[in-house]
Amino acid sequence: METLDQIFVLSKKGILDFLGTFLPEWVVTLACVAITIKAIAVLGPVTMMYLTLMERKVIGRMQNRIGPNRVGKWGLLQPLADGVKMLTKEDIVPHGADAVSHFLAPILIVIPSLLAFAVIPFGRGMTPVDLNVGVLFFIAVSSTTTIAIFMASWGSRNKFSVLGGMRSAAQMISYEVPMVLSVVPVILIAGSLSTNDIVLAQAGWGGLKWFVFTPWGFFAFIIFFLCGVAECNRSPFDLPEGESEIVAGFHTEYSGMKFALFYMAEFMNSFTVSGLAATLFLGGWQGPFLPSWLWFFLKTYALIFVMIWFRGTLPRIRVDQLMGLAWKFLMPLTLVNILAAGLWYFTEGAARWLITASILAGSFWLLTKLNRGYTPEKRVYLFAE
């Protein structure tokens, strides 16, 4: 059990020990870094490839279809076939495009997604880089995606691209605020910005003392997850690439592998956001019986499933609804949530459950009431009749 739990750590140690028998120490140190980087650099794209398959399969099932099942058993080789197709496609650069930014954007958009993998604790002792400001690093890095998207939209010299890029900028900046504020209670209770320490703070109750099982944690989790979905431009917040409105938004003018890189970034973002949500609120790799890394991947994939489930269910929301949700609903709720987490920190026993739960439920109800749209009892038509 212990071996299974630490299998990746032990195998890395084994490789380094083997290298240490005939290589100088500085090479072994470099190899230690290289192995981790290699693991992430492989994990990211492979995850992305199979997320595309998972997305197509799950959405197919939701629409009573089978989904891809022709390439390999259960369509398991479909991502490879797609990759080959993408690589053999023509690379088109529009006449009059800003060549540099058009070329750089798909490369730049992948970098933050891969960097974000660095602070995700995949298992016990399996955080690639255990930064003491891990959460801050994640948020800072993932917010730079906006720049790449805006570069893509501006460099394409296409009105639909620019519209998509503008929407993306507005949306990402709006959702960044409640996203960061919803993480604050976790940092408050855990007392650390390090992702590993946050996971360790959720130890107990047989591995089930997750933050999501507290009133403030529950609300923060939902807010964080919704903002995360909006951050990686996934449905129902996929306004930047709204197919029915603005062709394909910021990647209208991209083809072949450059287009695939945008998708790679999107799927890797959804993996890292789900991973961070699992880390912050679902106890990370904590859990009974199973190996720690298996728990982490189970939780992450469950959250990704929820994202796909959203996409299979909800229509795209309007821009005003998008902004309204972020600024008028999620944002006040996160502020109340920080207050609730503070009260939770300073009170004890049943009282703190009662106080935080009632404050949050009350404010949730109040915000619902305040956000209710105005519908006149009788519609007045100014120019008809």
Partner 1 sequence: MIFGTGILQGLMVTLKNFVTSYFKAPDEGGIFTVEYPEKRLPEKERFRNFPFLLYDKNPENLRCVACDICAKECPPKCIYIVREFDKDGKPLKRPAVFDIDFTVCMNCGICEEACPFDAIYMDHEFEIASADRHAKLLYHRDDLLKSNEYFHKIRPTDASAIDARRREAEEKKKAAEAAALAAQKAKEAAAAQAKPPEPPKPAAGA
How many Cβ atoms sit within 10 Å of the Cβ of residue 139? 17
Contact 233, 241 (CB under 8 A): yes
Q: In this structure, what token pair is assigned to residue 54?
A: 């998972």
- Please report whether residue 92 would count as binding partner 1 according to CB under 8 A: no
Which of the residues 262 through 281 are near partner 1 (CB under 8 A)?
none
137 versus 221: smaller Cβ distance to partner 1: 221
How many Cβ atoms sit within 10 Å of the Cβ of residue 172? 25
Residues 6+ apart with CB under 8 A from 380: none
- Please report whether residue 327 would count as binding partner 1 according to CB under 8 A: no
User: In the block, which residue shows the tokens 């935080």?
Assistant: 356
Does residue 271 come out as left (phi exceeding 0), alpha (psi in the -120 to 50 range) or beta?
alpha
Minimum CB separation from partner 1 for residue 362, in Å?
11
Minimum CB separation from partner 1 for residue 208, in Å?
24
- Please report whether residue 310 would count as binding partner 1 according to CB under 8 A: yes
149 versus 322: smaller Cβ distance to partner 1: 322
57 versus 124: smaller Cβ distance to partner 1: 57
- Please report whether residue 309 would count as binding partner 1 according to CB under 8 A: yes
DSSP code of 315?
Answer: P
Site size toward partner 1 (CB under 8 A) is 19
11 versus 313: smaller Cβ distance to partner 1: 313
- Please report whether residue 312 would count as binding partner 1 according to CB under 8 A: yes
Q: How far is CA 373 from the centre of its chain?
A: 30
Pick from 10, 46, 314, 351 the residue near partner 1 by CB under 8 A.
Answer: 314
Tell me the C-alpha to C-alpha distance, in Å, between residue 258 and each of 48, 50, 110, 143, 145: 15, 19, 11, 21, 15
Minimum CB separation from partner 1 for residue 116, in Å?
27
Q: Is 174 exposed, middle or buried (0-12, 13-18, 19+ CB in 10 A)?
A: buried
61 versus 159: smaller Cβ distance to partner 1: 61
Mask: binding to partner 1, 59-78, rule CB under 8 A, as x and -?
--xxxxxx--x---------
How many Cβ atoms sit within 10 Å of the Cβ of residue 255? 15
Residue type at 131? L
Minimum CB separation from partner 1 for residue 218, in Å?
13
Which of the residues 13 through 32 are near partner 1 (CB under 8 A)?
none
Pick from 11, 29, 132, 313 the residue near partner 1 by CB under 8 A.
Answer: 313
In the 3-class helix/strand/coil scheme, how is 209-237 assigned residue by residue?
A: CCHHHCHHHHHHHHHHHHHHHHHCCCCCC
Minimum CB separation from partner 1 for residue 314, in Å?
7
Minimum CB separation from partner 1 for residue 23, in Å?
51
Minimum CB separation from partner 1 for residue 338, in Å?
20
Which ranges in 282-383 belong to alpha helices (H)?
A: 292-313, 319-324, 331-346, 349-370
Residues 6+ apart with CB under 8 A from 18: none
Q: In this structure, what token pair is assigned to residue 177?
A: 């605020």
Q: Looking at 128-136, 259-267, 274-282, 359-367, which segment touches partner 1 (CB under 8 A)?
A: 359-367
Pick from 329, 341, 352, 360 the residue near partner 1 by CB under 8 A.
Answer: 329
| Best CA proximity match to 190, nearest among 182, 199, 201 | 201
- Please report whether residue 370 would count as binding partner 1 according to CB under 8 A: no
Minimum CB separation from partner 1 for residue 72, in Å?
15
3 versus 63: smaller Cβ distance to partner 1: 63
Q: In this structure, what token pair is assigned to residue 284?
A: 């990370």
The three-state secondary structure class of 257 is: helix
Rule CB under 8 A: which residues touch partner 1?
58, 61-66, 69, 309-310, 312-314, 329, 364-365, 367-368, 371
